[in-house]
Amino acid sequence: MYAVFEKQKRQQRESLEADAKETTDRLEKELKDSQKKAAIAKAQSKGQPGADTAIALSAPAAPKSNVVDDPEKIIGLLTNLDVEDDYTNRRAVHYFESLVDIGPTSLQPIREFLERDPPVDLVFEIPDERRGRFSRRPRGGREREMQDEIRESDAINYFQPFPKPNSGFPPTLRLGLLEATAKVGAKVGGSEAEDLLTNVLSTTSRGVEIAYLDLALEEIEPGKYREAILENARDILANPPPESNATKLDERSKGYLYAILVKYKDEKFVEIAKGLLVSDDGKLDGYALLYLRQVLGERALPIFLNAYRNPNITNKWEKAAISDAAMHYVGRNGQADEIWREMMKDGFKSMEGEDMFSEKRYEKLFLPVVSLARDMDDQDVDTIKKRRKLLGEARKGSGDLLLQFGLTMLDRRMGEAQKKKEEKQDE
């Protein structure tokens, strides 16, 4: 095995040396040719006979250029790319950057392409939808089952971060052209790129395009089109278009749009989001829940309490999502504490009939118990005291030995955190 490995290394080294020699020889030849041309040019400048002939004979024929500098042709090449080809992404990046290098001349062909009716697009790749805690592999069988159950519910849209534009590679042809337009506008200035982007903004109903237009217009004129972006986002969320021929990116449209509202802390959509939070048939809108929590913060607790008590919600993970939103404020808000107590009551009830060592026995207690220790280092002494008081209530609710042990250890940890905070206050 060692001899084989050494042979492979020797072959690789010999191959690299051969490549290096070839490169060196080529560079030396190019240098000699350059020196020869310089000498002939010098002779020509001094009027020596035969210099023109020497130059003509020594000069190699100009190679035919393979560079495409016609923006219409470049867009045609982009449109005809084979998305199954492994090199398509590289070619696409080259063509997009070529449009940027050509500059303002590219803008009119780009405009004509983006204004086609019906729109033409090409999907290069769809970013992985697994984000945040769902981007890692589950540690065990039950965790895998839980992740699958959450993905099948709309709770997934709460437990994952909002989708955001891909900064590395545009997933579609239209998005790549929008990026190229923004780069041209930022590079050379002028209103043509701006006009093109705002025209697309006024006509598109795709959430992902609104998200890319937000970045593009902010790059050209920071703040100038922010309200227009927000108005479009609110309008599409309130009146979603039909999802015929929708791609996976389009299916995440709501996420891109809510992300914009969160980015700018927009509260104008709050009342509509409240109405969209739980449908008449009891289905949760996870994106709306995450928006309300991140924009309103603690002020959203009345909304969360009302949703938590909605009898139409039957999916346990969608109810858990509402609980999680409220648990960020346990010990700080009376309504959050109410939800915590109801969660513990449900958890104690679910323990009945389950084996003592079964994971499912404590499943419903996990979130409320762990929430007491959430962001412990960032909490003040009063919040920690209130959380320990709630923990004391929980210890009286069940005589389960394993649960009592876990709650005791948690109380000890919280007591240590409280002591450190109090000592710091006394300094």
Is the model more confident about 34 or about 226?
226
The pLDDT score that the predictor gives to residue 150 is 80
Is the model more confident about 62 or about 89?
89
The pLDDT score that the predictor gives to residue 303 is 97
The pLDDT score that the predictor gives to residue 129 is 57
The pLDDT score that the predictor gives to residue 262 is 98
Residue 167 scores a pLDDT above 60:
yes
pLDDT bracket for residue 47 (50, 70, 90): low
Weakest mean pLDDT among 182-191, 328-337, 382-391: 182-191
| pTM recorded for the entire structure | 0.77
Name, of 3-7, 79-83, 187-191, the range with top average pLDDT.
79-83
291-308 pLDDT tens trace: 999 999 999 999 999 999
The pLDDT score that the predictor gives to residue 354 is 80
202-257 pLDDT tens trace: 999 999 999 999 999 998 899 999 999 999 999 999 999 887 666 777 888 999 99
The pLDDT score that the predictor gives to residue 145 is 74
Cα(168)–Cα(386) distance, integer angstroms = 46
The mean pLDDT of 402-419, rounded to a whole number, is 94
> Taking a C-beta distance cutoff of 8 angstroms, is the pair 326, 368 a contact?
no
The pLDDT score that the predictor gives to residue 127 is 65
Q: Provide, rounded to the nearest whole percent, the portion of the chain with pLDDT above 70.
A: 79
pLDDT bracket for residue 190 (50, 70, 90): confident
pLDDT bracket for residue 426 (50, 70, 90): confident
Residue 369 scores a pLDDT above 80:
yes
